[in-house]
Structure 1
Amino acid sequence: MKSQSQKAADFAALHQSGCFVIPNPWDRGSALMLAGLGFKALTTTSAGYARSIGVTDYRAGRDHVLAHCRDLVDATDLPLAADLEDGFGPTPQDCAETIRQGAEAGLVGGSIEDWRADGTFYDIEAAADRIRAAAEAARSLSFPFQLVARCENYLRGRPDFADTVRRLQAYQEAGADVLYAPCLTTADEYTTLLREVDRPVNALGGIGNPPLTVSELAALGVRRISLGSLLHSAAVTAFLKAATDESFGFVAGLTSGGDLDQLLEKGSGS
């Protein structure tokens, strides 16, 4: 197995080598299968994980989330980043402590949001202070930790592009390594954002009508593409349809158990 420092170096290099897709497993099995498919890195989904343990998003809590991260770190030899929600607390110190504990759990990257679980936003100055504290904690580590600063405007129903750019610029200045505004949808939005910042930008794939493809996002200059809770939602959608299919027609299209087992073995390196 690679050391955490080796994984961190590999992960940092990915951000400088073009565009890559970083999918979001929600449990050990999905992490192993994604590794078996050949992805180079993984990142968690807070919503997907929460739903998989029977609670709604933001209800799992830091202890459970970091235990989940440790489990995924142990599952594969890939670099693992995490959705660290709002830093699991309102203060800059909370964010810094979350980064420290995330690193102790084996993470080589993680994101901090500017939106509270109670449905309100941090103002830009407070949000930047939180990113600054997280960045200082990340810089104190013995390996490069990719800190992602998230602006939640579009995801939370506030599609203010000018404010999104201002916030991401402030988070860049506060020390973020990667910038992320989930639910941007157009090439023009990404082109403008990329012109206004000088950090790697993460895109949420699958958003828009039609969504921008991997090749289209890469051509715009996006460095990484994550999928949030979409893979978990796709799996659960298929599960719900199958559970209520009285004709059992879903059986004809199933991946065989043997193929699934082979993918798990491939992902684990066995």
Structure 2
Amino acid sequence: MDTDSRAKAQRFAELHREGCFLLPNAWDVGSARILEAAGFPAVATTSAGVAFSLGRPDHDFFAEQPPEDRVDRETMLGRVREIAGGLAVPLSADLEDGYGESPETVATTVARTVAAGAAGGNIEDFTGDRTRPLYDHKLSVERVRAARETLAADGEPFVLVGRTDALLVGGTLDEAVRRANAYLEAGADCAFVPGAADAETIGRLVREIDGPLNVVMGLTGNTLSLDDLRALGVRRVTVGGSIARAMYRRLLDAARELADQGTFSYATDQLSQTELNDLFRQGSRQG
């Protein structure tokens, strides 16, 4: 990790010490630079958004997604490297399940993510296999521990996030809490429990999880605001692929208007060439 990447990683770690911050998700350098220009202190990637930008579906159950449709580790880390290199703020990477089952594979993925310039990353326990949608509890813990041991050996700052998809696959809140705490004990710096969207559920997670909690908003038009989440005690808020999906909604609407009506009203609210040029000039980057 070079000096600039190390400084970003240290700043990113500090964001997790106290308070609550919003970490929006980008899928390419352009989307990340726009989020940076809006003033966010850090940006995350979205595996869904990256997949969509490549014309592929997001990581899903294997029955619904042939292996050749999945974005592989090389492609994802290449995108992480591009985005990290194009930002002056820290970048956290969505690493899905670490691109393999074994703890050794997860450790390698995390080490390569550090080398790509990221300041943090998520490791999830979703398998893609309907017969066992989550990795076995013990194995899941070993995967997080292997990642932490690799980071400790390298001595580089990196915010490791242990994500459990228990709620997304029909598991109980008790299981989500149990897994989140186990990942924190194994060395994760932050727990991530997608699928929690109401104040009661999130409040219980905050109370029962022994460390910082990340929740994701924007998946179902959540009514909770950042102030609400801050009051509940959430440390970090991401938005997953929701910005990317909103962008693709606009693209699909424009395509349908052009194809079906031959009109151009979709262009009424477009950003001007000048605005985008100004946003993307290297000299406009915030230090």
TM-score calculated relative to the size of structure 1: 0.94
CA distance in 2, matches of 1:164, 1:71: 33
Aligned partner of 1:103: which letter? V
> How far 1:257 sits from its partner (Å)?
2.1
> How far 1:207 sits from its partner (Å)?
4.2
Please say if 1:122 is aligned against 2:123: no
Please say if 1:19 is aligned against 2:20: yes
Provide, for residues 87-107 of structure 1, a one-character-per-residue CA deviation record: whole Å limited to 9, x for no partner: 110111111111111111111
Q: Is the 8 A contact 1:206 1:212 kept in 2?
A: no
> How far 1:137 sits from its partner (Å)?
1.4
> How far 1:165 sits from its partner (Å)?
0.8
> How far 1:141 sits from its partner (Å)?
2.7
Q: Is the 8 A contact 1:205 1:211 kept in 2?
A: no
Provide, for residues 114-155 of structure 1, a one-character-per-residue CA deviation record: whole Å limited to 9, x for no partner: 111334211211111111111111222333210001111223
Q: In structure 1, what is the equivalent of residue 223 of structure 2? A: 211
- SS of the aligned residue for 1:96 comes to helix
Q: In structure 2, what is the equivalent of residue 165 of structure 1? A: 177
Q: Is the 8 A contact 1:86 1:117 kept in 2?
A: no
Q: Give the one of 80, 84, 102 matched to 2:95.
A: 84
Q: Is the 8 A contact 2:93 2:120 kept in 1?
A: yes
Q: In structure 1, what is the equivalent of residue 233 of structure 2? A: 221
> How far 1:10 sits from its partner (Å)?
0.4
CA distance in 2, matches of 1:200, 1:128: 17
Q: In structure 2, what is the equivalent of residue 98 of structure 1? A: 109
- SS of the aligned residue for 2:92 comes to strand
| 4+ residue runs over 6 A deviation | none
Which structure 2 segments of 5+ residues have no match?
Answer: 60-69
CA distance in 2, matches of 1:232, 1:261: 21
Q: Is the 8 A contact 2:219 2:240 kept in 1?
A: no
- SS of the aligned residue for 1:244 comes to helix
Change (3 A) 1:70 1:267: farther
- SS of the aligned residue for 2:11 comes to helix
CA distance in 2, matches of 1:40, 1:159: 33
Q: In structure 2, what is the equivalent of residue 61 of structure 1? A: 72
Question: Which structure exhibits the higher relative contact order, with contacts defined as CA atoms closer than 8 Å and separated by 6 or more residues?
Answer: 1
CA distance in 2, matches of 1:75, 1:113: 26
Q: In structure 2, what is the equivalent of residue 70 of structure 1? A: 81
Farther-moved stretch of structure 1 (84-93 vs 251-260): 251-260
Provide, for residues 137-189 of structure 1, a one-character-per-residue CA deviation record: whole Å limited to 9, x for no partner: 12223332100011112233x14111111111111111110000112011111
Aligned partner of 1:260: which letter? L
Please say if 1:45 is aligned against 2:50: no
Q: Is the 8 A contact 2:219 2:239 kept in 1?
A: no
> How far 1:57 sits from its partner (Å)?
2.1
Q: Give the one of 97, 108, 113 matched to 2:124.
A: 113
RMSD: 1.8
Once the two structures are superposed, the pairs formed by residues 29-44 of structure 1 within 5 Å of their partners are 29-44=30-45
- SS of the aligned residue for 1:155 comes to helix
Taking every aligned residue pair, what percent have the same amino acid on both sides? 38
CA distance in 2, matches of 1:226, 1:255: 25
> How far 1:233 sits from its partner (Å)?
0.4
Q: Give the one of 153, 157, 162 matched to 1:144.
A: 157
